[in-house]
Amino acid sequence: MSDEAAATPEAATPAAPAPALPMKLLIIVVAAALVAGLGGAFVIVKFMGGHSGGGEAGGEQTAEAGGKSEGHGESSGKGAAGATPGVVFDLDPFIVNLADAPDIRYLKMTIKLEVENEGVSANLAGRIPQLRDAILVLLSSKDSATIRSPQGKFQLRDEITQRINGLLPKPGVKTAYFTDFVVQ
């Protein structure tokens, strides 16, 4: 009888479920990894692919537009920087009270000036107190609603450029760039 018990399929049955459970678990883990990998690849292609494809096409269009506008005497921001880069003159940050009547508002701003050449930069370096005074008076006359809008920022940039060029014997400041602009 002991030989019959050993030869029956009951003895082989307990050994079969043990490999089946790890096999199922292995299939589930592989399927989950496959789904996660495909999902991650889709997200990367969707987000990265859209930006790089659009960026390359936009870069080609910008280069073509820069080439066309140079023929007409105009240049875009990238074309101007690549064709004739100006010298950049850094100013220390400005912190001023704005002209908001009922509220007290502050503006923290850092400006970089693009000038035509090193001579203008040297001239500006000798006039730092006059530059800071002119800009501080201008900034403190503005209210927060005006300078928060994009049009207000463009107007402020033009006014700063005009005031600084007014201090120089020969206008040499091309434009002003805001590298830090916080209204509180």
Per-run averaged pLDDT (10 residues), the chain, 184 residues: 54 53 82 85 72 42 38 40 73 93 90 93 93 95 92 95 93 94 93
**Residue 50 pLDDT:** 52
Give the largest Cα separation in the chain, rounded: 119
Question: Is pTM, for the whole model, over 0.75?
Answer: no
- Please, what sign has the CA dihedral across residues 140, 95, 174, 153? negative
As a whole number of angstroms, the distance between CA 27 and CA 181 comes to: 56
Number of other residues whose CB lies within 10 A of the CB of residue 167 = 15
Contact status, residue 84 vs residue 114, Cβ threshold 8 Å: no
**Residue 157 pLDDT:** 96
**Residue 101 pLDDT:** 81
Cα of 30 vs its chain's centroid, Å: 39
For Cα atoms 156, 161, 164, give the angle at the middle one, nearest 5 degrees: 120
Tell me the backbone φ, ψ of residue 107, rounded to 5 degrees.
-125, 125
Question: Among all chains, which residue has been given the structure tokens 């916080």?
Answer: 182
